[in-house]
Amino acid sequence: MKIAVMGAMPEEIAPILEKLETYLTIEYAGNKYYEGSYNGIDVVVAYSKIGKVFSTLTATTLIEHFGCEKLLFSGVAGAINSELKVGDLIVATKLSQHDLDITAFGHPYGYVPEGAVYVEANRELIDISKDVAQSLGKKVREGIIATGDQFVANEERKNWIGDTFGADALEMEGGSVAVVCDALNVPFFILRAISDAADMDASFSFDEFLETSAVESAEFVMKMLEVIATK
The per-residue pLDDT for range 205-227, each reduced to its tens digit, is 556 666 777 777 788 888 999 89
Contact 190, 95 (CB under 8 A): yes
Q: Please state at what angle helix 10-19 crosses helix 202-230, rounded to 10 degrees.
A: 30
CA distance 231 to 221: 16
Structural domain spans, the chain: 2-230
DSSP state of 168: S
Positions marked active-site: 12, 196
Tens-digit pLDDT profile for residues 110-152:
999 999 999 999 999 999 999 999 998 988 999 999 999 998 8
What dotted CATH number matches 2-230? 3.40.50.1580
In this predicted structure, what is the pLDDT of residue 203?
54
Question: What average pLDDT does the structure give for the chain?
Answer: 91
Q: CA 43 → CA 35, 38, 132, 179, 205, distances in Å?
A: 6, 7, 19, 21, 31
Contact 142, 91 (CB under 8 A): yes
